[in-house]
A and B are shown apart, each in its own frame.
Chain A
Amino acid sequence: MGDVKKGYARPLDIKQGRVDLSHGGGGRAMVQLITELFAKHLGNEYLAQGNDGTLLPAGAGHLVISTDSHVVSPLFFPGGDIGGLSVHGTVNDVAVMGATPLYLTAGFILEEGFPLADLARIVESMARAANAAGVKLVAGDTKVVEQGKGDGVFITTTGVGYVPEGLRLSGDLARPGDVVLVSGSIGDHGMAIMSQRENLSFDAPILSDSASLHGLTAAMLASGAALRVMRDPTRGGVAATLNEIAHQSGVGIHLDEAAIPVKPEVNAACELLGLDPLNIANEGKLLAVCAAADAERLLAAMRAHPQGREAAVIGRVVEDAHCFVQMKTGFGGRRMVDWLSGEQLPRIC
């Protein structure tokens, strides 16, 4: 016993250990989890302040804030995991407002019995995503619920950034004559999750597109095109997002099905499960509305960025008091593109 150093605490057993109720109890075990796992990967000068709240320097322009809870199942999926997703989702919500994402907060709800090794993978993934996006985690919280009262881990993140003075992007700014663009193939994230759940195997697995779009949005803003709206079509897919924009702006939208990029494997999986790619969630794509005169310039800027290589003009904004989103089908007919009703894909993000 004489060998034991004073003040020594046995480190967390990341390999074999599991979350237990003491990790949320406010005692030493919780502090240990925070320092040896969360702070180890996500630490920075702000988190190190160690107070009940974090002091941040004020910035220029308007403050943008967005929050998102992540409950995806499975936690690890082809192309991503809940950790990276919880950063990407919130970074994107801030970025599509035209802001530079700067800070994140994260709240974790952990289920008793959850393997610490999995938690470490998730936190490492968050750290990688945050570094790549240039955002810092500046506040966090951990709670533990009894076994059976959660499902592994739920993560809520809040993101903060600044929009420069004079720039305003908003869902109510689409005007008849404007064009609608998408940054790349749609439905990848949702079908990556669904193919896992339904045990669908394809020659090439469908990968989630989970990614931060701050670089793409910056390139689009730098193009000088007259952007009206940017939005990332997550739950409910492109259909839901365009319906939101149409209603907010009091306009109609006409899409051209042939112009909408969809990967063949995503199309095939949708076909098999009776789903429409337009309703499927994305986590690394954005929709943009811009003045028709600037469409070419914006498209060129998007295609010059790695995340916008497959960008395309997919439709136009029209006058329509009913605010309908309609689509010319590849078949040659015309149909409505409506919000998805019901809950085809619970726990997709």
Chain B
Amino acid sequence: MKYVDEFRDGDIAQGLSKAIAAEVRADRRYNFMEFCGGHTHAISRYGVTDLLPANVRMIHGPGCPVCVLPIGRIDLAIHLALERGVIVCTYADTMRVPASHNLSLMRAKARGGDIRMVYAVTDALRIARDNPAKEVVFFAIGFETTTPPTAVAIKQAQAEGLTNFTVLCCHVLTPSAIMNILESPEVRELGTVPLDGFIGPAHVSTVIGSRPYDHFAEEYRKPVVIAGFEPLDVMQAILMLVRQVNQGRAEVENEFTRAVTPDGNLKAQALVSEVFELRRSFEWRGLGEVPYSALAIRAAYAEFDAERRFDLEYHPAPDNKACECGAILRGVKRPTDCKLFGTVCTPESPMGSCMVSSEGACAAHYTYGRHKDA
């Protein structure tokens, strides 16, 4: 496949593998966090860690939209479907995330909730047009990549006078999550998460640009290399991170220059700030309440805000006590450190969110990496 195969070439991978091996110093360890689930998935699916020296360790970060969605938010969507007779439109990944009362959107659907899997928010708009007598809610999740399309949909609904369409906004922000991890006691004081650098987001950075990461590199002295989601991108980024560490640099470098600029997509940013505003605080699974880490719909577009239209009240709900998703999302634990992993928690019957999405650390390890534990 043109423009894709070039970034999965096994010969180039071998060359990069040798370059990394030649670059690393034998007397130290290198611990890098890949923030995005997209990177986690690529690393697992292509077996990237097999091509890395033993002293380079990849730590999975919280950048998996489905994984960081707290139970309370899914409960709201289920409430809309089961109690309020609303058609809830959602991305397929969200369907199986466990919620309160032993429910999930999938189980709520089996109980008669009208819940539809969509590939894009435009499908939800179409469903709203086709069902004028019903309320249609789009369950909007995701980082900065999926936010502009939601903004477009809201403006489109306004232009069309589509009065039965609203959005349950759960869009979250990448820089706040990175900041939260850097400020966490595990990283700052306890040293339980030794972090030598970040692989920065691919698609998110096409929207927000590379500048937002400057702060982390300067303030926290952590190198950041923005990388694409193809396995060669990841290898190249690791090589660049190793070089920064060896040379004592902490800079933002951009491996993904074919798509990311310093300023990002200004048009998309303008659209987002026109429709959305910062929430004072938002609960993340694993990270807890994080200040100014998510978006809400501005008052000017209040009529498209499901939380306002249905007078929804958020109730936090605790995760399963034995579930380690929280610690795994912060990079404190690995999937295999969780007692539930691979026993009662599997992709078929997930207990925690990290086992649900293919970008989740647990699902990626279960599906692609289990042979390494054998």
Question: Which residue of A267, A324, A331, A338 is within 8 Å of B46 (Cβ)?
Answer: A331
Question: Which residue of B119, B232, B348 is within 8 Å of A341 (Cβ)?
Answer: B348
Kindly identify, within residues 48 to 94 of chain B, every residue whose CB is under 8 Å from any CB belonging to chain A.
Answer: 48-51, 92
Q: Are A324 and B8 in contact (CB under 8 A)?
A: no
Q: For chain A, what secondary structure do more than half of its interface residues adopt (helix, strand, loop), or is it mixed?
A: loop
Whether A333 touches B374, Cβ cut-off 8 Å, given contacts A271-B4, A274-B358, A341-B347, is: no
Whether A330 touches B8, Cβ cut-off 8 Å, given contacts A336-B370, A338-B367, A342-B347, is: yes
Q: Are B4 and A335 in contact (CB under 8 A)?
A: no
Question: Which residue of A268, A324, A330, A335 is within 8 Å of B374 (Cβ)?
Answer: A324
Report the count of interface residues on B (CB-CB < 8 A).
34
A332 within 8 Å of B by Cβ? yes
Q: How far is the CA of A215 from the CA of B115 in the complex (A)?
A: 45
Query: Would you list the 3 A-B pairs with minimal beta carbon distance, nearest first?
Result: A333-B47, A341-B347, A333-B50
Q: Are B347 and A331 in contact (CB under 8 A)?
A: no
B17 within 8 Å of A by Cβ? yes
Q: Which residues of B contact A (CB under 8 A)?
A: 1, 4, 8-10, 13-14, 17, 44-51, 92, 95-96, 119, 231-232, 346-348, 358, 363, 366-371, 374
Which residue on chain B has the smallest CB distance to residue A239? B367
Minimum C-beta distance from A91 to chain B (A):
31
* Residues in chain B near residue A208, CB distance under 8 A: none
Minimum C-beta distance from B202 to chain A (A):
14
A248 within 8 Å of B by Cβ? no
Mask for A260-290, Cβ within 8 A of B = 1, else 0? 0000100110010110000000000000000
Q: Are A198 and B1 in contact (CB under 8 A)?
A: no
Minimum C-beta distance from B312 to chain A (A):
28
Minimum C-beta distance from B246 to chain A (A):
24
Minimum C-beta distance from A324 to chain B (A):
5
* Residues in chain B near residue A268, CB distance under 8 A: 1
Whether A342 touches B374, Cβ cut-off 8 Å, given contacts A267-B1, A333-B51, A335-B47, is: no
Kindly identify, within residues 159 to 217 of chain A, every residue whose CB is under 8 Å from any CB belonging to chain B.
Answer: 198
Q: Are B369 and A332 in contact (CB under 8 A)?
A: no
Minimum C-beta distance from B133 to chain A (A):
17
Quick one: which of A273, A329, A335, A338 has the most chain B CB within 10 A?
A335
Mask for A304-334, Cβ within 8 A of B = 1, else 0? 0000000000000000001010101111111
Q: Are B1 and A334 in contact (CB under 8 A)?
A: no
Whether A338 touches B49, Cβ cut-off 8 Å, given contacts A274-B358, A326-B371, A331-B13, is: no
Q: How far is the CA of A330 from the CA of B47 in the complex (A)?
A: 10
* Residues in chain A near residue B10, CB distance under 8 A: 258, 329-332
Given A331-B232, A332-B50, A342-B348, 11 additional A-B pairs, CB 8 A: A198-B119, A258-B10, A271-B1, A273-B119, A324-B370, A331-B9, A331-B10, A331-B47, A333-B50, A336-B369, A336-B370
11 residue pairs A–B, Cβ–Cβ below 8 Å: A198-B119, A258-B10, A268-B1, A329-B45, A329-B47, A331-B231, A331-B232, A333-B47, A333-B231, A336-B369, A344-B92
Kindly identify, within residues 8 to 45 of chain A, every residue whose CB is under 8 Å from any CB belonging to chain B.
Answer: none
Minimum C-beta distance from A342 to chain B (A):
6
Q: Are A324 and B371 in contact (CB under 8 A)?
A: yes
* Residues in chain B near residue A271, CB distance under 8 A: 1, 4
Q: How far is the CA of A244 from the CA of B14 in the complex (A)?
A: 33
* Residues in chain B near residue A264, CB distance under 8 A: 1
Q: How far is the CA of A335 from the CA of B17 in the complex (A)?
A: 17
Minimum C-beta distance from B36 to chain A (A):
14
Question: Which residue of A198, A274, A324, A332 is within 8 Å of B17 (Cβ)?
Answer: A332
Q: Are A336 and B96 in contact (CB under 8 A)?
A: no
Mask for A215-253, Cβ within 8 A of B = 1, else 0? 000000000000000000000000000000000000000
Q: Are B1 and A322 in contact (CB under 8 A)?
A: no
* Residues in chain A near residue B366, CB distance under 8 A: 338
Q: Are A331 and B48 in contact (CB under 8 A)?
A: yes
Q: How far is the CA of A338 from the CA of B95 in the complex (A)?
A: 20
Q: Are A336 and B368 in contact (CB under 8 A)?
A: yes
Minimum C-beta distance from A200 to chain B (A):
10
* Residues in chain B near residue A273, CB distance under 8 A: 119
Q: How far is the CA of A272 from the CA of B101 in the complex (A)?
A: 35
Q: How far is the CA of A328 from the CA of B189 in the complex (A)?
A: 41
Minimum C-beta distance from B86 to chain A (A):
21
Which residue on chain A has the smallest CB distance to residue B346? A341
Q: How far is the CA of A335 from the CA of B364 in the complex (A)?
A: 10
Q: How far is the CA of A189 from the CA of B104 in the complex (A)?
A: 31
* Residues in chain A near residue B45, CB distance under 8 A: 329, 335
* Residues in chain A near residue B14, CB distance under 8 A: 332
Which residue on chain B has the smallest CB distance to residue A262? B1
Q: How far is the CA of A324 from the CA of B367 in the complex (A)?
A: 11
Q: How far is the CA of A274 from the CA of B8 in the complex (A)?
A: 16
Which residue on chain B has the smallest CB distance to residue A273? B119
Whether A333 touches B48, Cβ cut-off 8 Å, given contacts A326-B371, A341-B348, A344-B92, is: yes
